[in-house]
Structure formats: structure tokens, C-alpha cells
Structure 1
Amino acid sequence: MTLYPAIDLKDGKAVRLTKGLMDSAKIYSNEPYELVKKFEDMGAEWVHLVDLNGAFAGEPKNLEQIIKIRQNCNVKLELGGGIRDEATIQKMLEIGIDRVILGSIAVKDSQFVKDMAAKYPIAVGIDAIDGYVAVEGWGEVSEMKATDLAREFANAGVEAIICTDVGKDGTLSGVNVKFTVDIADASGVSTIASGGVKDESDIRALIDTNKVDGVIIGKAYYEGTLDLPKMFKLLD
């Protein structure tokens, strides 16, 4: 089980949202790279970055901070938020991002994602509200079931699927284990759980499924309900 500490970037700051609502943003750091360094010191192998402004704008908007993180930190970085064309993928990889997350574009043009996965390190972000895929920074809900979208990427060469239950995201109400397993079963791709993680019991529940490869840790760390250094030691 790989733990992915998460940093959401909004207006150059590290924040966390509740249920994806931008006006719920709580600022945790004015210097996001310092947080990444802290995660690195704890033993993180990966850090999960989301450009929130980019997710709504359809193009990256926190580049200055992303570059600063890369220049100051040695962990692997995966980045999502507003990445919707090949030129942007290439640009993110050139500045040192290790894996690019494609979300909204996966719903609108799955073939594009498959083509990109054949050439670059790509993860697909599947975000769901009541089982249906949410797009455009979670501002819209599509008519596609999350499991149907996951099935679309079986044997497509993507490195991972990151699945988020939007209704639980940032709520500390417990991860949706069944949803995560359903995505893993549908896709057969390495699956990373996201949304609602509260404490150690959530991580153990995911491990017990033997079907989930990673979990994104956000508010549980920031609000102190999960001892992240302890978890890194346990899983080392």
C-alpha cells in the first residue's frame, strides 16, 4: 500500500476543500513546497498534487508553486488539474512531474487518454458523485457511471486509476471501500483510493481488500486524525 500525501493548490497556497467546494478552502500553508519537504522527511515516496484553479480553468494555473516544489523536493510527484492536451502533458513532464493525472478529458475523449498512456506516465482520475462521474473540477456531473469509465481503461496502459468519492472528500467520514474495490474490479488497473480517509482503520480496511494499491491522505493528516509518520513506518 502506497500512501500519497495530498496537496491541493489554490491561488499559490496549499489548501483542502470539503466535497470539492472551492469556497470551503482551508489554507494549511502559504509555501506548499515546505509541506512536501515535510512529507519527504516522513518517508513519503509520492506526493499527490492537484491544481484546483487549473481544474476549473482547463489549464494549469499554479505553475510557479509546482516548479518550486519540484526544485526543492526529491519525492515523486503526480499532478492533476486542468491537463487536457498533449502539449500540457509534455510541459508538466519537462518540469519534472513524474506522473500526469487526466480527469475530465477521460470522460470526453477516452481515446485521447489511451493514446497518451501509450507514450507518457498517465493516471486516470475518476471522481464520482453518487456513482456518476463528476467533471470540470467537480462542477458538473456526467451521465456516465464511474465503473463504466473504469472499464474503458482496462488494458489501456494507464499506470493507475485514482478514484474519489466526492461526497466524502474532505469530510473525514471514512473512505468508500466498496466504491474503490468496484473500480479496481472493473478496470483491473492499479487503483488508488481517495476521499474521506479519516484514520488508520480506513487504511487497514483498504489493505484487507487485497485489491487497492494506494490511498491519498489529505485532511486526515492536516487535522491530526491520522498519524502519518507512524503509518509510513508501519508500511515500510
Structure 2
Amino acid sequence: MMVIPAVDLKEGRCVRLSQGRMDQESVYSEDPLQMARHWESKGAERLHVVDLNGAFSGIPYHRSLIEEIARSVRIPVEVGGGIRNLETIEHYLSCGVGWVILGTTAIRNRRLTEEACHRFPGRVILSIDARGGKVAIQGWSDTVPLEAVDLVKEFEGMGFSAIVFTDIERDGMETGLNREMTRTLAQATSKPVIASGGVSRIEDIERLIPLERDGIIGVIVGRALYTGRFDLEDAIRLTKSK
């Protein structure tokens, strides 16, 4: 199981939000590029990079910074936030990004999503963000009348390489992963699932490891790493020892 550090970008800085609220941010670095290199040096196998400004506005805000991050580290990078057209997808994938993550676009523009999966096989990840089981889009600012598990089943044949599932109510709160909801969602699809939202202790990761048999291949960790609740190297060592 991969432990994937999150690098969330807001106005050129590396931040973490609480429950996705732009007015509740904690700034952890003025130099996201250095932070990406730091996590690579600690043994990260992948980075999860999100353009928060882009996610809320629908327009990429950190294109050049993300391009620089992707080209400056040797590990693969997955990128989400503000990706609403094929031009942006093609740009990111051509500049060294390993995968693009589609959330709002996947729900609002199925034709574009199908085209992206067709043109870039294995390089498009579906993001499902849920609040109380209901799917949220547009930087989590809007909730749509769709159940997360139903959406997973609906997209089963689309061609996504993986699914990132985030429990918004736990994201940035360090209250522990929603293990049961993540497991239920993973059991509803043949796609590999990456868990996100609420990791607070290394024990949260330890409890997730047995769910690899259900198709959970990784976990995204943000605030807990930045605040030193546990060390990335220790978490990686734990996942390799099981």
C-alpha cells in the first residue's frame, strides 16, 4: 500500500484546508517545490498535488508551478483541481504529470471524460468526494444528489485507472479515516481505490492495510505529516512490513 503525501496549492503556497473550506487554511510552506522534493527524499512513491484555486474557480491557477514540480521530482505525480478541458489534461500529461484527476468534470461533462479516458488510457483518475455519502463538486462547494457508491458503479466501464475517495467531513480534521465507507466503495468497483481524508495517526494506516484485499492500494496523507503526528518514513516502513 502506498502512502501518498498531499501537496495542496493555494496562491503559490503549500497549505491544508479544514473540510475543504478556503477560509480555514493552514500554511505549511511558502515553497511547494521544495516540499515536493522533501517528500521524495523521505521515500514517497507518489505525490498528490491539488490546485485549490483551480478547483474552486474551474480555471487552472498553478499550471506553471505544477509543471515545475512534475519535472523536478523523479517520482510520479497525480494532479487535480480545475481540470475542465482536454487542453489542460494534455498539457499536464505532456509536461511530466503521471495522472490527471477528474471530479467535477467527470460528473458535469461525461463526453469529455470519456474522450480523456480514450485518448489517455491509464492516466485518468476519478475523484469522488463525499459529504454524508453525497457527492460534492466544484471544490466541494456544491453537493449533488448522487450517492458516492452509486456513482462508482455508474463509472465502472469508463476507463479510469483508479478512484480517489475523500470523506470531506474528515479531510484536514485528523479524526481518522472513514474506513467503512471507503471499504464499501472499494467493494463496489473493480478499480483500485486510494483513500483520503482524516488520517491522524500511523494506526489509521495500519488499520487500512488489511483492506488491500478489497482493492485499496494507497492512502493520501496531508496535515498529519505536516504537523509531525507521524513520520512518512515510518508509515512507509509499516506498509512494507505487512
> Which letter does structure 2 place at the counterpart of 1:219?
R
Preserved contact between residue 186 and residue 193 of structure 2 (Cα < 8 Å): yes
Report the alpha carbon displacement of residue 174 of structure 1 after superposing the two structures with TM.
Answer: 0.2
- Structure 1 equivalent of residue 7 of structure 2: 7
Preserved contact between residue 114 and residue 158 of structure 1 (Cα < 8 Å): no
Give the Cα separation in 2 of the matches to 1:88 and 1:201: 38
Give the Cα separation in 2 of the matches to 1:105 and 1:183: 20
| 1:166-181 equivalence runs, <5 A | 166-181=168-183
Preserved contact between residue 114 and residue 153 of structure 1 (Cα < 8 Å): no
DSSP 3-state at the match of 1:118:
helix
* Per-residue CA distance 1:180-219 (angstroms, 9 max, x = gap): 1121112221000000011121111111122211100101
DSSP 3-state at the match of 1:187:
coil
- Structure 2 equivalent of residue 27 of structure 1: 27
- Structure 1 equivalent of residue 185 of structure 2: 183
Ranges in structure 2 where 5+ consecutive residues have no aligned partner: none
- Structure 2 equivalent of residue 109 of structure 1: 109
Aligned pair count? 236
Report the alpha carbon displacement of residue 5 of structure 1 after superposing the two structures with TM.
Answer: 0.4
**Aligned residues: CA RMSD:** 1.2
- Structure 1 equivalent of residue 137 of structure 2: 135
Report the alpha carbon displacement of residue 168 of structure 1 after superposing the two structures with TM.
Answer: 0.3
- Structure 1 equivalent of residue 124 of structure 2: 122
TM-score normalised by the chain length of structure 1: 0.96
The share of aligned pairs that are identical, in percent, is: 39
> Which letter does structure 2 place at the counterpart of 1:221?
L
Preserved contact between residue 110 and residue 152 of structure 1 (Cα < 8 Å): no
TM-score normalised by the chain length of structure 2: 0.94
- Structure 2 equivalent of residue 100 of structure 1: 100
Work out which of the residue numbers 196, 216, 220 in structure 2 matches 1:216.
Answer: 220
Runs (4 or more) in structure 1 with deviation over 4 Å come to none
> Which letter does structure 1 place at the counterpart of 2:233?
P
